[in-house]
Amino acid sequence: MSGREVAVTGLGLVTPAGVGVPATWHGLLSGESPAARDPALDGLPVDFCCRVPGFDAAERLGRRLSWRLDRCAAMALVAAREAVADAGLGTDHWDPLRVGVVLGVGTASMERYEEEFAKLTCGRATEISPLAIPRSVPNMVAGEVGMDLRVRGPNLTVSTACASGATALGTARQLLLADACDVVVAGGSESLCSRIPAACFHQMGALSRRGDDPAGASRPFDADRDGFVLAEGAGMLVLERAEHARNRGARVRSYLAGYGASCDAYHFTAPHPEGRGAAEALSAALGDAGLAPEDIGHVNAHGTSTVLNDRAEALALRQVFRRPPPVTAVKGALGHAAGGAGAIEAACTVLTLQEQVVPPTANLRRLDPDIELDVVGKVPRPVRMAAAVSNAFGFGGQNAVLVFRAAP
């Protein structure tokens, strides 16, 4: 094992497939999407999304705590608690000064801002909540997780658009390798299921318009794809220095072996048409892990279901891999949770390595002939693999790639 690997000892997930790791994994293997019309989006050109079913923050966190939290932060706390419990950790098992929190967030609290701006535009400025800022500034998601877990190590939020969750995991890895922490709770959270994101992304032409078939709307790499589906969710991983995990006898789910990041420096929203920056980040991640392309047995693609992004990602994979390994794109089933997506998909990659099964790409009916990849569709595929890659890309040309290695 490389001295630059860190152990993944806990996972926590809150996704449109359900709350908890088992619910999400089961939903992915089903190959079905829960996307549906959302009353909160009534009257908009795109009125469907992927919400977390039955998520009641008050029920899960208590009325007093949930009252002050934005939905994005509430989902992060639930996922973080699951991840820490899964790792077998708690206040009796760690030095709080040596435990960090690094979270990725894209837009944070658009829903809360909508409510407060409405008061302002109606001349009701004195009714604006004093919690409006603490609820919605991006750093408070990490701050709330730190307070909830009572850990006092480095606590920060990173924002690289839809790559944020993956960037957070890479940043956490760097903290551990620098010996700044023994443990880092890292991941991402986001809720895009509100009116401003729905209206804005529609105006950009980024959303699928399949209102007659919401569950079939997100189609990564499909010839008939026409955009992504708004979603929400949180993904959390407990990362530890390998020695720390070994000394406490922790169960290791996998190892985060490498991280690579780059910027396209090309366009403010579109990816480089040849996937140049994505390929550079992937090559950097493999180099960081000390692995060759042929060592990778699976790619969890960013796979947004937009024409430009899927094509650019496919070209990037073809540049790095002589023969790309089996690919899946979980946004077909879970939609696009923006800042949370990279962490959710990283957790799914860990599960894929553990189970040695690649989930299908939901709604893949006819592979785009320009996508020269082995995209898994229809049913799960057993694959023997020792390492896997998770891609995440975002506006501004942000690219983040994670390499995971299976635990012995």
> Which residue among the candidates 202, 244, 272, 336 is catalytic per the annotation?
336
Q: How many CB atoms lie within 10 A of CB 11?
A: 27
CA nearest 405: which of 261, 242, 249? 242
Tell the residue number behind the tokens 């949370």, with chain if given: 340
* Residue type at position 201: F
Q: What is the CA radius of gyration of the chain?
A: 20
Tell the residue number behind the tokens 């898994």, with chain if given: 376
CA nearest 294: which of 315, 317, 321, 313? 321
Please tell me the distance from the alpha carbon of residue 384 to that of residue 209, in angstroms, as a whole number: 38
Mark out the alpha helices in 235-340 (DSSP H runs): 242-247, 276-289, 307-320, 331-334
Tell the residue number behind the tokens 């023994």, with chain if given: 182
Query: Does the CA dihedral 370-374-375-378 come out positive or negative?
Result: positive
> Which residue among the candidates 162, 181, 193, 348 is catalytic per the annotation?
162
CA nearest 233: which of 55, 26, 11? 55
Tell the residue number behind the tokens 């939609």, with chain if given: 335
Clarify whether 26 is annotated catalytic: no
For residue 186, what is the enclosing H or E element? strand 183-191
CA nearest 137: which of 116, 151, 121? 116
CA nearest 390: which of 266, 268, 298, 279? 298
> Which residue among the candidates 202, 272, 298, 302 is catalytic per the annotation?
302
Asked if residue 239 lies in contact with residue 8, where contact means CB atoms within 8 angstroms, the answer is yes
Asked if residue 266 lies in contact with residue 280, where contact means CB atoms within 8 angstroms, the answer is no
Query: Does the CA dihedral 146-78-238-403 come out positive or negative?
Result: negative
Cα 97 from chain centre: 27
Clarify whether 302 is annotated catalytic: yes
Residues labelled catalytic: 162, 302, 336
